[in-house]
Amino acid sequence: MASRLLLVLAAGLAAAACTGAEERGRRLYAERGCAVCHGANGRGDGPSAKRLDAPPRDFADVRGYSQGAGLNAIAASIRRGAGAMPPFRDITEPEARDIAAWIVSLQHRPAESGGQR
């Protein structure tokens, strides 16, 4: 019984930590200018998107991730760059992982009507 309680508590703490990383990532995404190209909700529809030769990725569509759609692959793409996106070397590894956690969370959210999330 005690081991089951510990397992439930551990799962709850892991979920809370993930939520914290996603929230930090959402905030960093906005602060670091990601939304300028990728849009406030990660749909690839930011204000600069129409002026770019290569359209920014819609983070909800996992088919577009050429370097992987998981947390580690996305964090690496943020720091090293991917395709037309330049590297963001001034973003620390923990910041890149938090932004990646938020981006991964977008892969699991259903699109709402009107293309908004």
Domain ranges of the chain: 35-110
Residue 60 near residue 107, CB atoms below 8 Å:
yes
pTM of the complete model: 0.78
Of the candidates 38, 54, 48, the residue with the CA atom closest to the CA atom of residue 102: 38
pLDDT of 46 reads: 97
Per-residue pLDDT of 91-114, as tens digits, reads 999 999 999 999 999 998 765 434
Determine whether domain 35-110 maps to CATH 1.10.760: yes
Per-residue pLDDT of 32-86, as tens digits, reads 999 999 999 999 999 999 999 999 999 999 998 889 999 999 999 999 999 889 9
Of the candidates 101, 92, 76, 83, the residue with the CA atom closest to the CA atom of residue 25: 101
Of the candidates 73, 108, 78, the residue with the CA atom closest to the CA atom of residue 92: 78
**Tokens at residue 14, please?**
């892991």
